[in-house]
Structure 1
Amino acid sequence: MSYLIRVLAICLAVRLSSVDAWEHGAGPAPNNGAARQFIVFDPTVAGNPAVAQAVPLDRTGWTATADSSQSGNAASSVLDGDTGTIWHTAYDPTVAQLPHNIVIDMKAAKWINGVTIMPRQDGNNGNIGQHTIEVSQDGTNWGSPVATGTYLNDKSLKTTIFGNRLARYVRITARTEAQSDANQWTSAAEINILAGPDPILPPGQWSGTIDFPIVPAAAAVVPRTGKVLAWSAWAATQFGGSPGGYTLTATYDPATGVVSQRRVSNTAHDMFCPGISMDFNGRPVVTGGNDAAKTSIYDPIADTWTSGSNMKISRGYQSSTTLSDGRIFTIGGSWSGGNGGKNGEVYNPSSNTWTLLRSATVANMLTKDRGGVYRADNHAWLFGWKNGFVFQAGPSINMNWYGTSGSGSVKLSGPRASDVDAMNGNAVMYDAVAGKILTMGGGQHYQAAPGIPNTHVITINNPNASATVTKVANMAYARAFGNAVVLPDGKVFVSGGQGWAEPFTDNTAVYYPELWDPATQTWTVMAPNAVPRTYHSIGLLLNDATVLIGGGGLCGNCPTNHFDAEIWSPPYLFNADGSRATRPRITAVTPTTSGNAEVAVGGTLTVRTDSAVSKFSLVRMGSATHTVNTDHRRVPLTGTRTTTNQYSVKLPTDAGVLLPGYWMLFVMNDRGTPSLGFTVKVKL
Structure 2
Amino acid sequence: MPYTQSGFAVQGAHGAHGNYELVSPSALGGLRHCWRNNDLPGAPWLLGDAFGSAGVDTVSLVARSDQVPSVHNGNLELVARVGPRLAHYTRRVPGPGKPFVWFGPVHFASGVAGHPALIQSRFGTHGNLELVVPTASGGISHYWCDNDQPHPHWIHTGVFAAGLGQVDAVAMIQSNYGGPPGNLEVIARAGDVLSHMFRDVGPAFAWSPPQTVLTSAAGIPAFIQSRHGTKGNFELVTPLAASGLSHITRDNDHPTTPWSPPVEFGSGTVSAVALIHARPGTPGAGSLDAIARVGSNTVVYVRSQAPPHDWTGPAAAACTEPLCNPVSQGEWRVPHSAGVVGIHTVLLRTGSVLFASYKEHEDQASGDSAVFNPVTGEETRLALARNVFCCGHSTLDDGRVLVVGGNLGGANALHTFTPNGGGGQWQELGNISAGRWYPTVTTLPDGRIFIIGGTGGGPRVNPHSCQITGGAIQATYEIFNPASGLEPPQPAPFMNEVDPYWLYPFVYVLPSGKLLIHAKTTTAFLDLSSFTFDATRLSTLSQTARTYPSEGTSVLLPLLPTSNPPYRARVMLIGGAGVSCPTPATDTTPATATCEVLDLGQAPLAWAPAPPMSHPRVMPDSVLLPDGTVLVMNGSSTGVADNGINPVFAVERYDPSTDTWTALCPMRVPRLYHATALLLPDGRVLTSGKDVEFNPHPFHYPEYRVEIYSPPYLFQGPRPNVTSAPDTVAYGANFDVIAPDAGAVVSAALIRPGAVTHSFNQEQRYVGLSIVTAQSGSLTLTAPPNAFVAPPGYYMLFLVNGNGVPSIGRFVKLG
Deviation of 1:673 (Å) = 0.5
Tell me whether 1:537 sits opposite 2:675 in the alignment: yes
Deviation of 1:195 (Å) = 6.7
Deviation of 1:21 (Å) = 7.9
Mean CA deviation greater in 341-350 or 669-678 = 341-350
Whether contact under 8 Å (2:449, 2:479) holds in the other structure is yes
Aligned pairs for 1:620-635 within 5 A: 620-635=752-767
Q: Which residue of 2 aligns with 1:326?
A: 447
Deviation of 1:437 (Å) = 2.1
Tell me whether 1:510 sits opposite 2:644 in the alignment: no
Q: Which residue of 2 aligns with 1:342?
A: 475
Q: Residues 489 and 264 (structure 1 numbering): CA distance in 2 closer, same or farther, change over 3 Å?
A: same
In structure 2, the residue corresponding to 1:219 is in which secondary structure?
A: strand
Deviation of 1:550 (Å) = 1.0
Mean CA deviation greater in 466-475 or 276-285 = 466-475
Q: Which residue of 2 aligns with 1:607?
A: 737
Tell me whether 1:435 sits opposite 2:569 in the alignment: yes
Deviation of 1:208 (Å) = 2.7
Q: Which residue of 2 aligns with 1:221?
A: 347
Q: Which residue of 1 aligns with 2:728?
A: 598
Q: Which residue of 1 aligns with 2:417?
A: 298
Aligned pairs for 1:231-270 within 5 A: 231-235=356-360, 238-240=361-363, 242=364, 244=365, 246-265=366-385, 269-270=386-387
Deviation of 1:543 (Å) = 0.2
Deviation of 1:436 (Å) = 2.0
Q: Which residue of 1 aligns with 2:486?
A: 353
Whether contact under 8 Å (1:539, 1:624) holds in the other structure is yes
Cα distance in 2 between the residues matched to 1:68 and 1:435: 51
Q: Which residue of 2 aligns with 1:112?
A: none
In structure 2, the residue corresponding to 1:363 is in which secondary structure?
A: helix
Cα distance in 2 between the residues matched to 1:209 and 1:289: 30
Which one-letter code corresponds to 1:445 in the other structure?
A: S
CA-based RMSD of the aligned residues comes to 4.0
Q: Residues 610 and 554 (structure 1 numbering): CA distance in 2 closer, same or farther, change over 3 Å?
A: farther
Deviation of 1:624 (Å) = 0.7
Tell me whether 1:398 sits opposite 2:522 in the alignment: yes
Instruction: State the Cα deviation string for residues 372-392 of structure 1 (Å, max 9, x = none).
Output: x3xx21121110234763102
Tell me whether 1:656 sits opposite 2:777 in the alignment: no
Cα distance in 1 between the residues matched to 2:676 and 2:419: 20
Q: Which residue of 2 aligns with 1:578?
A: none
Deviation of 1:334 (Å) = 2.5
Q: Residues 51 and 488 (structure 1 numbering): CA distance in 2 closer, same or farther, change over 3 Å?
A: farther
Mean CA deviation greater in 255-264 or 276-285 = 255-264
Match of 1:209 among 320, 331, 335: 335
Deviation of 1:507 (Å) = 2.0
Whether contact under 8 Å (2:720, 2:801) holds in the other structure is yes
Cα distance in 1 between the residues matched to 2:321 and 2:668: 12
Which one-letter code corresponds to 2:388 in the other structure?
A: M
Cα distance in 1 between the residues matched to 2:624 and 2:331: 17
Q: Which residue of 1 aligns with 2:718?
A: 582
Deviation of 1:491 (Å) = 0.3
Which one-letter code corresponds to 2:387 in the other structure?
A: D
Whether contact under 8 Å (1:309, 1:352) holds in the other structure is no
Q: Which residue of 2 aligns with 1:415?
A: 539
Which one-letter code corresponds to 1:441 in the other structure?
A: G
Whether contact under 8 Å (1:68, 1:89) holds in the other structure is no
Deviation of 1:295 (Å) = 0.7
Q: Which residue of 1 aligns with 2:659?
A: 521
Deviation of 1:307 (Å) = 1.6
Whether contact under 8 Å (1:398, 1:416) holds in the other structure is yes
Using CA pairs under 8 Å that are at least 6 residues apart, name the structure with larger relative contact order, 1 or 2. 1
Whether contact under 8 Å (1:344, 1:361) holds in the other structure is no
Q: Point out where structure 2 has 5 or more consecutive residues left out of the alignment.
A: 1-25, 30-45, 53-58, 64-77, 87-108, 121-127, 140-157, 173-186, 188-219, 221-238, 243-267, 270-294, 300-317, 459-470, 560-566
Q: Which residue of 1 aligns with 2:768?
A: 636
Tell me whether 1:566 sits opposite 2:707 in the alignment: yes
Tell me whether 1:666 sits opposite 2:804 in the alignment: no
Whether contact under 8 Å (1:414, 1:466) holds in the other structure is no
Tell me whether 1:445 sits opposite 2:580 in the alignment: yes
Q: Residues 571 and 431 (structure 1 numbering): CA distance in 2 closer, same or farther, change over 3 Å?
A: same
Q: Residues 220 and 466 (structure 1 numbering): CA distance in 2 closer, same or farther, change over 3 Å?
A: farther
Q: Residues 67 and 323 (structure 1 numbering): CA distance in 2 closer, same or farther, change over 3 Å?
A: closer
Cα distance in 1 between the residues matched to 2:772 and 2:348: 30
Cα distance in 2 between the residues matched to 1:647 and 1:200: 36
Whether contact under 8 Å (2:622, 2:630) holds in the other structure is yes
In structure 1, the residue corresponding to 2:431 is in which secondary structure?
A: coil
Deviation of 1:220 (Å) = 0.4
TM-score w.r.t. length of structure 1: 0.69
Cα distance in 2 between the residues matched to 1:632 and 1:68: 38
Tell me whether 1:426 sits opposite 2:553 in the alignment: yes
Deviation of 1:598 (Å) = 0.5
Deviation of 1:198 (Å) = 2.5
Whether contact under 8 Å (2:721, 2:807) holds in the other structure is yes
Cα distance in 1 between the residues matched to 2:661 and 2:667: 17
Aligned pairs, number? 528
Aligned pairs for 1:544-563 within 5 A: 544-555=682-693, 559-563=700-704
Match of 1:480 among 618, 623, 639: 618
Which one-letter code corresponds to 2:618 in the other structure?
A: A
Instruction: State the Cα deviation string for residues 335-356 of structure 1 (Å, max 9, x = none).
Output: 7174113322211112122331
Instruction: State the Cα deviation string for residues 367-417 of structure 1 (Å, max 9, x = none).
Output: xxxxxx3xx21121110234763102x342211102456664354341124
Q: Point out where structure 1 has 5 or more consecutive residues left out of the alignment.
A: 1-19, 24-48, 108-134, 143-164, 170-193, 367-372, 576-580, 591-596
Q: Which residue of 2 aligns with 1:79?
A: 118
Whether contact under 8 Å (1:504, 1:560) holds in the other structure is no
Tell me whether 1:385 sits opposite 2:510 in the alignment: yes
Q: Residues 459 and 67 (structure 1 numbering): CA distance in 2 closer, same or farther, change over 3 Å?
A: closer
Q: Residues 410 and 167 (structure 1 numbering): CA distance in 2 closer, same or farther, change over 3 Å?
A: farther
In structure 2, the residue corresponding to 1:572 is in which secondary structure?
A: helix
Cα distance in 2 between the residues matched to 1:299 and 1:455: 37
Deviation of 1:565 (Å) = 1.3
Which one-letter code corresponds to 2:393 in the other structure?
A: I
TM-score w.r.t. length of structure 2: 0.59
Mean CA deviation greater in 290-299 or 642-651 = 642-651
In structure 1, the residue corresponding to 2:447 is in which secondary structure?
A: coil
Higher strand share: 2
Cα distance in 1 between the residues matched to 2:714 and 2:138: 50
Whether contact under 8 Å (1:513, 1:528) holds in the other structure is yes
Q: Which residue of 1 aligns with 2:302?
A: none
Q: Residues 53 and 506 (structure 1 numbering): CA distance in 2 closer, same or farther, change over 3 Å?
A: farther
